[in-house]
Every structure is written in structure tokens, then in C-alpha cells.
Structure 1
């Protein structure tokens, strides 16, 4: 009887440790990555909005396109690039995986 009580008392702390370890939050993902995502998106938007006026001047001087036409072209470029982010997220989550999508996106953005 004493041996049975001793075995139970020995098992209790180890069971508590495993439940405490399983309740701890993981160190990857979650809210810890949110600042990196926000900063990355902020820099991307600043770069895109900073590029717009320069692109309009380039289209006007380099391709002799009128201001209204150049603005329409840049609007479509901005709309398509924002929509393709949703398509890329769907492909990444459903089929390819995040690393393949990042590699394909990086490769497709290289200059010819």
C-alpha cells in the first residue's frame, strides 16, 4: 500500500509539468510577428506612393503619354499589384507553400 502511494506521488509532478509545458504559447508566429508585418507593409506603401510621381514624369517624358493616360496606367498597375497579393496568398496557403511563393515572386520581379 505504501509503495502504491509513493508511486502516485512521484507521477503527479511529472504529469503537471507536461500539462504546464503544453499550455505554454509557442515561440513562433502569432502576435509576435505582427510588428514585422506592419513595418514591412508600411515601407512597401511608402515606396509605392513615392514611385508614383516619378513614374508619371517618366511616362510623360520617356513615352510622351499625356498626364491623364499615365495616371490611368499607374492606377491600373497599383490595383493589379494589390489584387495579386490576394491571389498569391491563396496560392501560398492552398497549394504551393510560403517559401515557393516567395521564391517565385522574387524571381518574377528580377529585371530582364
Structure 2
């Protein structure tokens, strides 16, 4: 009986851990590249279309950057308490993609 249970546990697929790391690293890398690519365009957009000065535009960019850097704390709370890691990563990726698309127009 125990040998049968050991065989079943050995034949199960391994979940999480290092298997999920390439997806998470690639997702974060692409998000950072997109975010850093938006910063120069965003400051020009704020200055030309909204007629903000350089100081006010820079402050807005700073606050946006701070909010995006602290957002993982909220994501960690939601993941641990309610959603789970894969659903949180999926929602975060989708939300990030939607924000990038809406900021292009």
C-alpha cells in the first residue's frame, strides 16, 4: 500500500517552484522595459497636451513610478489572502497590458 502511494506521489507533476520562475522573470522584465519606455513619452505628453511645466510633469511621473513600485505589496496581499499566485499573476499581467494599450492612445 505504501509503495503504491509513493509511486503515485512520484509520478505527479511538480507544481510551482523553479518551473514557474521563467514566466515570472520574463513577465517582470517585459513590464519594466515597457514602463521605462513610457517615461520619456509620458513627460512629453504631459508637457505638450496638458501644458504642464517640467517640474509638475516630473512630479506626476514620480508619483506614478512610486505607485507602480508599491503595487506588488497589494498584489502579494491579494495573492496570499484571496486569489492564489497564478490567478494574481494572470490578472496583473492582463491589467498591465491593458494599461499599456490605453496609454498609447
TM-score (norm 1): 0.68
Larger relative contact order, structure 1 or 2 (CA cutoff 8 Å, min sep 6): 2
How big is the alpha-carbon RMSD for the aligned residues of Structure 1 and Structure 2? 2.8
TM-score (norm 2): 0.72
Which structure 2 residues correspond to residues 77-96 of structure 1 after superposition, within 5 A?
77-94=64-81, 96=82
Tell me which structure has the larger Cα radius of gyration.
1
Distance 1:62 1:24, change over 3 A: same
Unaligned runs of 5+ in 1: 1-13
**Shift >6 Å, 4+ stretches:** none
Q: For residues 24-74 of structure 1, what are the alpha-carbon distances to aligned partners after superposition, in whole Å with 9 as ceiling and x for unaligned?
A: 674321101101100000000000000000000001101111112211110
Q: How many residues align?
A: 95
